[in-house]
Amino acid sequence: MAKTHHTTLDEVIAHFTDLEDPRSPLNRKHPLVSVVVIALMAVLAGAGGPTAIARWAKTKHEFLLRVLDLPAGVPGKDVFRRVLMLLNPAAFQACFYNWLAALRAKATEASGIEQPVLAVDGKTARRSHDRSNGLGALHSVSVWASEFGLSLGQVACEEKSNEITAIPELLRLVDIKGAIITIDAMGTQKAIAEQIIEQKADYVLALKGNQETIHQAVIDYIDRQLENDFAGVAVRRLVTTETGHGREEVRSYLQMPVPPDLAEAERWKGLRTIGLVVSTRIREGQETTELRYYLSSLPLGVKRFAQAARGHWGIENGCHWSLDFTFREDESRIREKNLRENFGWLNRFLLSLLKQHPGRDSIVMRRRACGWDENFMLQVLTGSTP
């Protein structure tokens, strides 16, 4: 049994063999790869910081000595803390790219989805600030493949207003070719749209007041067409209804070609269509309506436009909510810059692994099971089946 476990972990270990050890050569009692893999397993099993990693490792010392190279025994919390503080977040994240590529390929084959929706959005770890040392709360922008349940990349920035500079960096880290990139209004920038097209992807970008001229032009155009029910316009329509949690939500999707005289349209590379989503919610007898306008490089095809617009919120429901509810990220008091970024990435990657497991249990229960059952944890970690 021990040999089977070690052979299984070889594939995991291989992802970190080229990671440069940031520690002094005089203080390397524990192999870097073994320290990183233990951290990976411990966070998967429920650990939320270096102390918890060390406590889990001590509890599982017989198992760890069997499956990893640990000539000096199981490391203590200072080792885990030092390593995760010294590791450059970009270099650490790069170790996962081949792993993610394999997971994405497997998900693509299983789902048959050739043009996935990749949602780009930011999230703040609200308690990670250290005001006494001038460190604001960690805000990171990530890419979430909604249909696959995969976090494909993360870039940290000082605050939400810096998303505009973080998004281009993030898009360069991820293979977006052939995908549909969705971004909320803050990231709706001409340069970002151009970059998406140059990387051979499509975009569906939300419009708000930060792009006032074209936003108002789209509103005015659609309002005029509504007056005569889009007579003479090749509009595409779709209506969906969802019920649950004590509410009913009706969404009306409208998609149409960009009119030739739309203000500033020529400045948005690849722009082909504009869209409107009208969301009407009824809850406890109260009705609310929200209108969202979009710029898109997609051709006419309202079902795909609707999937992209709706799929963007998967990063909130499938990723951000799970990070707070399952990984308790919003409660984390990790304040060291590299340490919190590396934990942020571990949380996102391990959430992705949990979502790939075919079991029917909730994500919370799967993570608990990883803490209880070493074999189940190895199934999740390696993508193997029982």
Domain ranges across the chain: 2-96+335-382, 185-303
* DSSP helix/strand/coil, 68: coil
- For residue 374, how many other CB atoms are within 10 A of its CB? 17
**pLDDT of res. 137:** 61
**What's the sign of the alpha-carbon dihedral 310, 311, 315, 317?**
positive
Q: At what angle do helices 32-44 and 2-14 cross, to 10 degrees?
A: 100
- Which among 224, 205, 216 is positioned nearest to 268, based on CA atoms? 205
Strands (DSSP E) found in 208-265? 236-244, 247-257
Q: Using the predicted structure, report yes or no on whether residue 135 has a pLDDT greater than 60.
A: no
More confident residue, 254 or 9: 254
Token pair in block for residue 208: 């708000």
Q: Using the predicted structure, report yes or no on whether residue 5 has a pLDDT greater than 50.
A: no
In tens, the pLDDT along 17-65 reads 999 999 988 878 999 999 999 999 999 999 999 999 999 999 999 999 9
Token pair in block for residue 61: 């010392």
